[in-house]
């Protein structure tokens, strides 16, 4: 009788090297068969057949399969509803154990719970590991045991924890938590596969190939060294553009954090925002549905649909907002400073529910990550953890002067800027918008407090 295989299930970790769960599966002995499932439950909700994220995932899965083939194995690729796919796998392969890396989103947790139950019934064990983050769940907590809801103390404790257990790598002392998993050492435990399987095409799943000029996985040392000086200027190439790779695990967070250490603390701190927002989602999953500070649910949004359409299309008459939205629509990317400005304009000046903006970003961002997007939006609307106070409202004109003084970014995305074709007045002007937002927020919060 053939040995029952161990299965490794790739999800948001589309790489072989330095992969925590895969390492554990290989080290346990094997033979290990790696798999990936194109999840119909997720794909059917995507409206755009040219969604670049599906192209990105398809390309990454194809590259991963090639990597396995070069090691004499293969990545088996399925397409379907995860539970049904797993019922088929259990029947066909009778796995002994299934290994994977943790995904903290509510949908994923529910799915994994159901898969675990199904496997248990079939006599297979389910093992999951931390790989997507440096610290998860209860690893960075307040002294009294509760979760942090403010970033700076989270970061301080995070750093303390990082240093609390040291190890060595390539002759240097490094944090145990950043040590890479040497998967290559156990590649011999992969299931040998003589004939590579077929990978379903984008078209067979109802999609079309989209643009493929995805950012590289490597960033120059110089960029990271100068990150704190360049990161706020959208007209320059001053950030790493690694978001999409962190999202899908085509790079290892440990590797990038290790490199950032010693080079630029500001960059490391940005990576830690990812951990922070994921921790918020893990501890307060209700943020997916509504504000972290529940009293903010009382804000009577204007929700003017024409204003929303103008914001989406980059036709608000505020140059930075329009440039940002057009960059997003054209490339699936928007610079972080500009994300903050467009989100502030939508929620404060236009008084449109932050969730409308959140959903629009979720549809468009190549680096869309539920926890970070939700956190970013709640921050801008002042209803989240560690959010800016509601009375601090971005002045888009001073932001322009400070961060894009020569209009380099604006001109790159709004070619008609400075011509009579560009609106002479913004949809909602700063002074009026600011005062209205202050009044509406103040009143709603006071009423919510009175109950």
CB nearer to ligand FAD: pick between 86 and 273: 273
CB nearer to ligand FAD: pick between 380 and 427: 380
Residue 13 in tokens? 């970790």
274 is known to lie in a ligand binding site = yes
Residue 228 beta carbon to ligand FAD: minimum distance, rounded to whole angstroms = 10
Residue 280 beta carbon to ligand FAD: minimum distance, rounded to whole angstroms = 10
Residue 440 beta carbon to ligand FAD: minimum distance, rounded to whole angstroms = 20
> What angle is formed at CA 363 by the lines to CA 360 and CA 366, rounded to 5 degrees?
120
CB nearer to ligand FAD: pick between 191 and 223: 223
Residue 365 beta carbon to ligand FAD: minimum distance, rounded to whole angstroms = 5
Cβ–Cβ under 8 Å, residues 238 and 227: yes
219 is known to lie in a ligand binding site = no
CB nearer to ligand FAD: pick between 33 and 219: 219
396 is known to lie in a ligand binding site = no
- Distance (Å, whole) CA 382 – CA 267: 24
Q: Name 34's bridge partners.
A: 8
Residue 229's φ and ψ, nearest 5 degrees, are -90, -30
Residue 100 beta carbon to ligand FAD: minimum distance, rounded to whole angstroms = 21
Residue 127 in tokens? 């093992």
102 is known to lie in a ligand binding site = no
- Distance (Å, whole) CA 144 – CA 149: 13
267 is known to lie in a ligand binding site = yes
Rounded to a whole number of angstroms, the distance between the first and last alpha carbons of the chain is 68
Residue ranges that bind ligand FAD, judged by CB under 6 A: 231, 239-243, 246, 270-271, 273-274, 277, 336, 339-340, 343, 361, 365, 367-369, 372-373, 376-377, 380
Residue 254 beta carbon to ligand FAD: minimum distance, rounded to whole angstroms = 14
Q: No. of H helices and E strands in the chain?
A: 19, 7
The HSE-up count of residue 232 (CA atoms within 13 Å, CB side) is 10
CB nearer to ligand FAD: pick between 26 and 387: 387
275 is known to lie in a ligand binding site = yes
Cβ–Cβ under 8 Å, residues 124 and 90: yes
270 is known to lie in a ligand binding site = yes
169 is known to lie in a ligand binding site = no
308 is known to lie in a ligand binding site = no
Residue 336 beta carbon to ligand FAD: minimum distance, rounded to whole angstroms = 3
CB nearer to ligand FAD: pick between 191 and 381: 381
Q: What is the dihedral of CA 95, 100, 106, 107, to 10 degrees?
A: -50
The HSE-up count of residue 378 (CA atoms within 13 Å, CB side) is 27
CB nearer to ligand FAD: pick between 25 and 380: 380
- Distance (Å, whole) CA 111 – CA 205: 21
Residue 378 beta carbon to ligand FAD: minimum distance, rounded to whole angstroms = 9
CB nearer to ligand FAD: pick between 152 and 167: 152
- Residue facing ligand FAD at closest CB distance: 376
- Distance (Å, whole) CA 193 – CA 93: 14
Burial (CB < 10 A; 0-12, 13-18, 19+), residue 336, is middle
Provide CB contacts within 8 A for 401, sequence distance 6+: none
Annotated binding site for FAD: 227, 267, 270-277
């Amino acid at each position: 009788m053939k040995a029952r295989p161990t299965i490794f299930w790739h999800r948001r970790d589309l790489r072989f090297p330095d992969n925590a769960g895969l390492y554990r599966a290989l080290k346990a002995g094997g033979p290990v068969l790696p798999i990936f499932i194109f999840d119909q439950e997720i794909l059917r909700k995507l409206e755009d057949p040219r969604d670049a994220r599906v192209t990105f995932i398809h390309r990454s899965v194809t590259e991963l399969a090639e990597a396995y083939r070069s090691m004499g194995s293969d990545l088996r690729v399925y397409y379907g509803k995860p539970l049904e796919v797993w019922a088929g796998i259990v029947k066909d392969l009778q796995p002994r154990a299934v290994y994977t890396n943790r995904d903290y989103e509510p949908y994923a947790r529910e799915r994994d719970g159901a898969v675990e139950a199904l496997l248990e019934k079939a006599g297979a064990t389910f093992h999951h590991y931390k790989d997507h983050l440096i610290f998860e769940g209860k690893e960075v907590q307040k002294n009294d045991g509760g979760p942090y809801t403010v970033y700076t103390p989270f970061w301080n404790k995070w750093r303390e924890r990082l240093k609390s257990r040291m190890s060595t790598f390539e002759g240097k002392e490094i944090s145990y938590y950043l040590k890479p998993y040497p998967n290559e050492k156990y590649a011999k435990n992969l299931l040998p596969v003589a004939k590579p399987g077929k990978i379903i095409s984008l078209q067979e799943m109802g999609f079309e190939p989209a643009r493929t000029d995805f950012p590289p996985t490597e960033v120059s040392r110089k960029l990271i060294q100068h990150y704190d000086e360049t990161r706020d200027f959208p007209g320059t190439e001053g950030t790493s553009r690694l978001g999409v790779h962190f999202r899908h695990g085509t790079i290892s967070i440990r590797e990038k954090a290790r490199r950032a250490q010693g080079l630029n603390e500001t960059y490391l701190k940005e990576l830690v925002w990812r951990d922070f927002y994921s921790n918020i989602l893990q501890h307060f999953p209700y943020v997916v549905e509504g504000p972290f500070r529940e009293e903010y649910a009382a804000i009577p949004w204007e929700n003017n649909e024409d204003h929303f359409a103008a914001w989406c299309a980059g036709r608000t008459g505020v140059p930075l907002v329009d440039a940002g939205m057009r960059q997003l629509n054209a490339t699936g990317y928007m610079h972080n400073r500009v994300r903050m400005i467009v989100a502030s304009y939508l929620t404060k000046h236009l008084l449109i529910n932050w969730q409308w903006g959140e959903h629009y970003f979720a549809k468009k961002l190549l680096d869309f990550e539920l926890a970070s997007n939700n956190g970013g939006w709640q921050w801008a609307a002042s209803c989240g953890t560690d959010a800016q106070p509601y009375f601090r409202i971005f002045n888009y004109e001073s932001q322009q002067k400070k961060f894009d003084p020569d209009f380099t970014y604006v001109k790159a995305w709004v070619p008609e800027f400075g011509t009579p074709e560009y609106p002479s007045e913004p949809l909602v002007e700063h002074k009026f918008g600011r005062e209205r937002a202050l009044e509406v927020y103040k009143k709603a919060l006071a009423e919510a407090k009175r109950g």
